[in-house]
Amino acid sequence: ANPRASRTTPFIAKAEQVPFLNIATKVMIGANKLKDFTIDRKLEGYAIKVPVFSFDKFPNVDKNLGP
């Protein structure tokens, strides 16, 4: 399994407002074929995935570097 995909795919699905994981699951179990789905993307603009570091877990760290 790709741990990166497990975080990126839900992010993209939420930004695009398309249930990609539900679609993929139905295709993988054979309930539907990919051509059975229409994907209307609704993203206007940009969706940016940014790391957030929890500086509270690290004592004596300059928290001005964090969000």
Residues 33-66: pLDDT tens digits? 989 998 888 888 898 988 877 777 878 877 776 5
Residues 9-32: pLDDT tens digits? 888 889 898 888 899 899 999 999
Structure confidence at residue 29 (pLDDT): 94
Residue 18 vs residues 8, 13, 34: alpha-carbon distances, Å: 13, 5, 14
Q: Which of 43, 37, 38 is nearest to 17 (CA)?
A: 43
Q: How confident is the model at residue 8 (pLDDT cuts 50, 70, 90)?
A: confident
Structure confidence at residue 4 (pLDDT): 65
Output the DSSP codes for 30-58. TSS-GGG--------S---------GGGS
Structure confidence at residue 35 (pLDDT): 92
Count of alpha carbons within 13 angstroms of residue 22, beta-carbon side: 9
